[in-house]
Structures are given as structure tokens and as C-alpha cells.
Amino acid sequence: MNIILSNLKIQVNEKIYVKDPETSPLGKKIVEQSILLIDEIGFDNFTFKKLGEKIGSNESSIYRYFENKHKLLVYLSSWYWSWMEYKLVFATTNILDPSEKLDKAITIVTEKVTDDINTEHINESILNKIIIAEFTKTLQTKEVDQENKEGFFLIYKRLINRIVGFINEVNPEYPFSKSLASTIVVGSLHQHFLTEHLKTITDCNEYVSTTQFYLNLTKNVLR
Amino acid sequence: MNIILSNLKIQVNEKIYVKDPETSPLGKKIVEQSILLIDEIGFDNFTFKKLGEKIGSNESSIYRYFENKHKLLVYLSSWYWSWMEYKLVFATTNILDPSEKLDKAITIVTEKVTDDINTEHINESILNKIIIAEFTKTLQTKEVDQENKEGFFLIYKRLINRIVGFINEVNPEYPFSKSLASTIVVGSLHQHFLTEHLKTITDCNEYVSTTQFYLNLTKNVLR
DNA sequence: GCAAATATAATAGTATTACTATCAATATTG
DNA sequence: CAATATTGATAGTAATACTATTATATTTGC
């Protein structure tokens, strides 16, 4: 997987950016440092001015890559889910047993993320923290229907539907495969959040993982 | 239940507001109309200035009730979960069979909400739409740990823990009752959101309800 | 019923945000 | 090396998120 990923450019819908940040050093710096800054101060407090100061660049230069900070977050999310999709595809390729394949998939999307050294400018571990803390904000806006039409969430929906396919292989009779898949993916983000901030309403902690909870849940639901 | 609720004041943590909006006509108007305005334009576009214009009142008057719009949203959420807790408590009182009680509880927290005519100035149906679209924003801020310490989310956590109690009654061996309860409550909000905006990654629609999905899931997980 | 206290409205003002526009300086490329 | 594209610097605007002050109502307590 490593070799393949190192030669692979994660593709993100062109409508999300003004100029593709992967095509220049400044663009890459914007992506790299925005991840660190959003993690540090939170998306709500994040501004292009602050990012400009952090990277020693002008605010107006950042606007040449992204229309606004919302689009930047959508970009980071798309990148994350696309990267996650690759991990999932490679981890499940050549596995014939449907249950084993589904378990692998659930493990990939629910476990804690470590940095992928093949992507120079992106720290996936920190990006994962941002996704846990901020992902639903990309969806929960008044513009969601318009942005959905423009394909902003295609990669995310494709990832969910890959898991739906695995669920259907395990139990073709189960009538809620889509809801189960979306529950696993977005629910595990929430459980990670609770583990960090509201420990009294989750069982997940350093000893019992979110992955265990969802593996157990899925096994029981589909048997 | 109606008679009881009509005499009942929903209690919200005092630290959330500057002045209790329930104590004056202006306060009630702020709560009533903020629900309508947030639903209309979305929380991100909502400002106290716009609310002031809507209710024919001055911006500065609103600041005497709520420090900022985030606190107002936390107030509305607390109110909502408190109201939900009453519905849950009354719906489950005197039911002896644990499974039946849990099913009732799940139904209450996952089904679509209709207006409660006992609360003059609050339209619960619209408030439910706001909770679906905006609730996670009350948690997902950099200040979550501080606000949690101050008790901003107590009512919500108490509601989750009531459901945890019901789950434990049905199956005391199940090791993930807290994660299951939080998954049901926040997950059902997400399923309602998907039903409205990203229909391709949910099975819930006008014929198959979110409630059915969670009743089925819980039954299978706990048997 | 009136004085005192409280609540609300009106106005003004500040710092920050979220941009857009223009032009100069610097790199890149053909 | 000239043309082109990219970045930086500066300035400017409208909106946001407040705070402060003072005037005007309204409520309440005696």
C-alpha cells in the first residue's frame, strides 16, 4: 500500500477550490498549516488572516486557493475520506470471506488514525482529530443541498456505499444497510469525541475501543 | 402528561443565560422568535441584530438575556432535552417490562416531533428541526471542556443515562450501554438529517422511520 | 398613587471578520 | 529574454460581535 499511495494523488472535486493547492508549494503549505492551525484553535476561531500570519503569507494569496474557510474544510474532509477510501479498498482487496471483509472495513473507518508518512505535507493523525471535531460542520449548513448537487460530498457518500456493499454481502436480507453504514462512520467520530470530552456517556476509552463497540454491534445486528 | 406539563417550568442551568428569558415577555419573545429565525436562515447566518429586527427590539436588549448566540443555542438545546426527558419519563412510568420500556424510550427520542400545545411560546416541531441541524455545534467547540465543567450539558447527559438504565435492565451483560444510548440519540438526529439532505446514504424515509431502524438495531444488539 | 428600582430602547463606538480590488514585485515558462 | 503567471503589499468596504452611555418606559413596593 505504501508504494502505491506515495505515487498517488488524492483527487478532490474541482469545484471545492479556486486553484488546486496540490499544484504549488504555497498551496501545499496552506493545506499543511491549516490542519495544524484548525487543530490548535478550532475551526470557529480559524481565519485566513491568522493562517497567513502562520505561514508568512498574505491573506489575499490564500483567497486565490479557497473562496472561504468553509470550502477549505470541505476540501480537507474530502481529502480525508478519499485517503480513507484507499486504505479501505487496499485492506479489503482479495479477502473473500464477507464477514472478514466487513470487519476489516469497520476497523479501518473506526480506529484511531496514525500519520501516513507517504503524504509529505499532510499529518493524517491531526487531520483525523479535525474530522472528529469538525466534520459535521461541513454538512450542517443552509447550503448543503446546493453543495451536495455540486458533488462536494461524493467521496464521502462513495465510502459509505462501499461499506453498504460489504454489509449486503454478509446479510442481503438486512433492510437498513445504508443507515447502519452511515451510523458506523459518523457515529464512530462521535464516540471518539465523547471519549475525549464527555466520558460519562460513552464506554469507549483507552482500554475499550470504539472499533470493538462497532464490531460487536454490527455482528449482532447482521447475524 | 398534558396537564402536568402545562404547569411545569423547564429548568435550564442558570449559567447559560444572563437573565432568565422565562421571566419576561421580551425574554419569551427572544426564545420564540429565535427558534423561527434559526430555522429560517440557519444558525451560522443568525445574528442578534437580525433577531432584534424580527422582534422589533434592540440588539442590546437581547444581550441582556444571552451573552452570545452560542449560549442561546445551548439554552434552546437544554430546553429541548429537558422537555424530551419529561416526555420520556412519563411515557415509561409504570411500565414494568424492561423491553417494552426501552422500546418506548427509543421511540420517544427517535421519532419526529410534533408541537406541544402546552408550551405557549415554543414550537417543539421547529425546535426539533433546529436540534437536527445544529445540536452538535453546541458540543463541537474549543470551549466544550470548560462548558461541560460548568454543567451546560447536564440535562443531555442525564437523558442519555436514563436510556442507559433501561438498556441495563434489558441486558445487564451488554458492555456498551452508554455508547449504544448516545449512538441512538445523536445518531437518530443524523439519520433525520440524511433523510432530508443526503438520501442516498440512509434507508430512513417517509415509509421507513428512523425509529424502526433503531428499534430493530437495539433488539438485535441486546438479545 | 408615587418614588424607586428595573427593564428596554436608542445611539454611538470599537475591534475583528470576511472579503474585494489594485498594483507592484517576483518567479516561471516558452 | 520576453511574456505570463504567481505572490505580496496595501487599502478599502460591509457586516459581525460586541460594549458603553443615556434616555425613556414599565413595574413594584410602600
For the segment B113-123, the average pLDDT, to the nearest whole number, is: 87
Domains and CATH numbers, chain B: 2-222 (1.10.357.10)
The answer on pLDDT for B221 being more than 90 is yes
The pLDDT, as a whole number, for residue A2 is 47
The answer on pLDDT for B223 being more than 50 is yes
In 3D, which of A3, A163, A150 has the Cα closest to residue A92? A163
Q: Which residues touch strand C (CB under 7 A)?
A: A 45, 47-50, 59-60, 63, 67-70; B 19, 24-27, 56-61, 64
The answer on pLDDT for A9 being more than 80 is no
> In the structure, what pLDDT confidence band is assigned to residue B117 with cuts at 50, 70 and 90?
confident
Whole-number average pLDDT of chain A: 94
Question: How far lies A144's CA from each of A11, B111, B219, in Å?
Answer: 21, 23, 33
For the segment B66-91, the average pLDDT, to the nearest whole number, is: 96
The pLDDT, as a whole number, for residue A1 is 46
The three-point CA angle A6-A97-B223 to 5° equals 115
Q: Which of B41, B178, B183 sits opposite A187 (nearest CB)?
A: B183
Taking the CB of residue A28, how many other CB atoms lie within 10 A of it? 15
Chain B, 93 to 132: residues with Cβ < 8 Å from chain A are: none
The pLDDT, as a whole number, for residue B115 is 86
Which of A 50-79 have CB under 7 A of nucleic chain D? 56-61, 64
**Cell 462497532 belongs to which residue?**
A214
- Does the distance separating the beta carbons of B144 and A203 come in below 8 Å? no
Q: Does B160 touch chain A (CB under 8 A)?
A: yes
For the segment B188-194, the average pLDDT, to the nearest whole number, is: 98
The answer on pLDDT for B8 being more than 80 is no
- Does the distance separating the beta carbons of B41 and A198 come in below 8 Å? no
The answer on pLDDT for A201 being more than 90 is yes
Cβ distance A62 to A52 under 8 Å? yes
CA quadruple A156, A69, B128, B89: dihedral, nearest 10: 80
Q: What is the pLDDT of residues B160-173, one digit of tens each?
A: 999 999 999 999 99
Nucleotide nearest to B45 in CA–C1' terms: D16
Burial B26-56 (b: 16+ CB within 10 A, else e): bbebbbbbbbbbbbeebbbebebeebbeebe
The three cell numbers of residue B54 are 424580527
With pLDDT > 70 as the criterion, what percentage of chain B qualifies?
96
Chain A, 127 to 156: residues with Cβ < 8 Å from chain B are: 133-134, 136-137, 139-142, 144-145, 148, 153
The pLDDT, as a whole number, for residue A208 is 93
* Residue with more model confidence, A7 or B21: B21
The answer on pLDDT for A3 being more than 50 is no
**Please, which residues have CB within 8 angstroms of residue A55's CB and are 6 or more apart in sequence?**
A26, A29, A30, A33
Residue nearest to nucleotide C20 (CA to C1'): A60
Q: What is the pLDDT of residues A15-70, one digit of tens each?
A: 999 999 999 999 999 999 999 999 999 999 999 999 999 999 999 999 999 999 99
For the segment B54-66, the average pLDDT, to the nearest whole number, is: 94
Rounded (10°) angle between helices A177-197 and B124-139: 50
